[in-house]
Amino acid sequence: MKKIVAGGLIEKDGKFLLVKENKKICKGKWNIPAGGVDDNENVIDAAKREIFEETGCTAKINGILEIINQNLENVDLLLFIFDAELVKENIQSDGEEISDIGWFSYEEIFNMKNDLRADGYFINTIKNKKENKISPVELIRIDNN
């Protein structure tokens, strides 16, 4: 099975916005706001939607931090992680899919490896952000025809 996931890394005052997952497969693990791309949805719109659904925040997508192709058990995953800018902060979780939301420094995130989803695959993404290794979002061509 193939799955496309999109999400965004938001930084504010040197801290990054993470969500605590409540799904059975990753309950209690921290992650960046991200989720599956719906049918007929592009990855940029999906990232903005997932950020809003999981955090209540509105974000603008500014660039590409990382594209990860990962083969998991029975799933071929393609993950787009975008550099996202906070447009409107309205922190809230539904309590169903996400149990908590918080702002963490890079050092805090690095030291909570056991509490991160998938061994903190997004730590490298944060390094890319800190080192300004951001590709232009225009590399993704959205063709609506």
133: its two tokens: 């290794």
Q: How far is CA 139 from CA 71, 128, 135, in A?
A: 24, 17, 8
99: its two tokens: 């149990």
Residues constituting the chain: 145
**pTM of the predicted model as reported, rounded to 2 decimal places:** 0.93
CA separation for the pair 10, 63 (Å, rounded): 12
CA separation for the pair 130, 135 (Å, rounded): 13
> What pLDDT band is residue 134 in, cutting at 50, 70 and 90?
very high
Which residue segments constitute the domains of the chain, with CATH numbers given? 2-131 (3.90.79.10)
pLDDT exceeding 70 applies to what percent of the chain? 98
pLDDT in tens, 104-123: 999 999 898 889 987 667 88
Residue that the structure tokens 């949805």 belong to = 41
Residue 130 has pLDDT above 80, yes or no: yes
Average pLDDT, the chain: 92
The more confident residue out of 120 and 89 is 89
- What are the start-end ranges of the H helices in the chain? 43-55, 106-110, 123-130
> What pLDDT band is residue 13 in, cutting at 50, 70 and 90?
very high
